[in-house]
């Protein structure tokens, strides 16, 4: 239970960083309002896409006009702590757990951004892919889990190729979705082909249920672009918690 407690604590403490990342990446870098308070236009990010954690990130308010900016405090922290704790209950190799917790933290950021802006920024996806890949490679070498490592690498490549093919023939998928699929393929592929197939399938089923619900209530538009990241991530991590 010590590992679970540590994971929950770490998940809660990284919450301000996650909220800062959500705020920082809600707009493209070329947008004039990038990094500025949407209410008073003051620049509130100290540096880079992630900014630095300080009074703004901790309070969730602009230091100038004191109005709410970004995700509300505590909510992201609680979600991050809960997901980290659940993963720690199910996953025991330390390096694999670290990879999954990192991916889950980035997933929280991506869900928040995609749900509001229909974007999956490289500033979040790229470093997450690198860190998760490195952790899984080291885990495979140190723990002599070559078969799991090969499965992860093939899973990442296969899901990226599959989503890229779909992106070429459908208008609802973007390249960000393809890169997210590669990330999820890495972590699901570590546990085998069945979890990989189940995680991908569940993500599509959840998205289909969402579309069906919008059709039933009369709010569906053929030109509507739905955020796929929430469904992809919920599907993948649901499967992980079952099979890990």
Q: What is the DSSP letter of 72?
A: P
How many CA within 13 A on the CB side of residue 191?
25
Sketch the domain layout of the chain as residue ranges: 1-90, 119-244
Mean pLDDT across 120-136 = 95
Name residues whose C-beta falls within 8 Å of residue 37's C-beta, 6 or more positions apart in sequence.
43, 44, 62, 64, 65, 67, 69
Residue 50 pLDDT greater than 60, yes or no? no
**109-126: per-residue pLDDT in tens?**
999 999 888 889 998 999
Judged by average pLDDT, the poorest of 45-54, 74-83, 99-108, 227-236 is 45-54
Query: Is this structure's pTM higher than 0.85?
Result: yes
- Tokens 């989503």 belong to 163
Q: What b/e readout covers 25-44, taking b as 16+ CB neighbours within 10 angstroms?
A: bbbeeeeeeebbbeeeeeeb
Judged by average pLDDT, the poorest of 10-24, 52-66, 116-130, 213-227 is 52-66
Mean pLDDT of the chain: 88
Residue 53 pLDDT greater than 60, yes or no? no
Is the model more confident about 32 or about 119?
119
With a pLDDT cut of 90, the percent of the chain lying above it is 56
The pLDDT of residue 222: 66
**203-235: per-residue pLDDT in tens?**
999 998 988 888 888 776 766 678 899 999 999
DSSP one-letter string for 47-66: STTT---SHHHHH-B-TTT-
């Amino acid at each position: 239970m010590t590992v679970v407690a540590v994971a929950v604590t770490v998940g809660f403490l990284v919450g301000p960083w996650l909220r800062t990342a959500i705020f920082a990446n809600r707009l493209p870098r070329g947008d004039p309002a990038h990094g500025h308070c949407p209410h008073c236009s003051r620049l509130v990010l100290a540096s880079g896409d992630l900014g630095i954690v300080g009074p703004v990130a901790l309070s969730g308010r602009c230091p100038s006009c004191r109005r709410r900016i970004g995700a509300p405090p505590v909510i992201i922290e609680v979600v991050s702590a809960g997901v980290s704790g659940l993963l720690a209950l199910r996953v025991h190799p330390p390096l694999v757990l670290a990879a999954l917790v990192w991916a889950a933290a980035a997933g929280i950021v991506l869900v928040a951004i995609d749900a509001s802006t229909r974007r999956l920024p490289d500033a979040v996806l790229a470093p997450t892919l690198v860190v998760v890949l490195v952790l899984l490679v080291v885990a495979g070498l140190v723990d002599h889990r070559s078969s799991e490592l090969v499965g992860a690498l093939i899973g990442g490549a296969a899901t990226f190729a599959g989503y890229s093919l779909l992106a070429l023939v459908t208008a609802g998928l973007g390249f960000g979705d393809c890169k997210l699929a590669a990330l999820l393929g890495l972590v699901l592929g570590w546990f085998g082909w069945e979890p990989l197939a189940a995680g991908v399938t569940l993500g599509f089923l959840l998205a289909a249920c969402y579309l069906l619900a919008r059709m039933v209530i009369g709010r569906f538009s053929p030109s509507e672009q739905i955020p796929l990241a929430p469904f992809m991530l919920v599907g993948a991590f649901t499967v992980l918690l079952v099979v890990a």
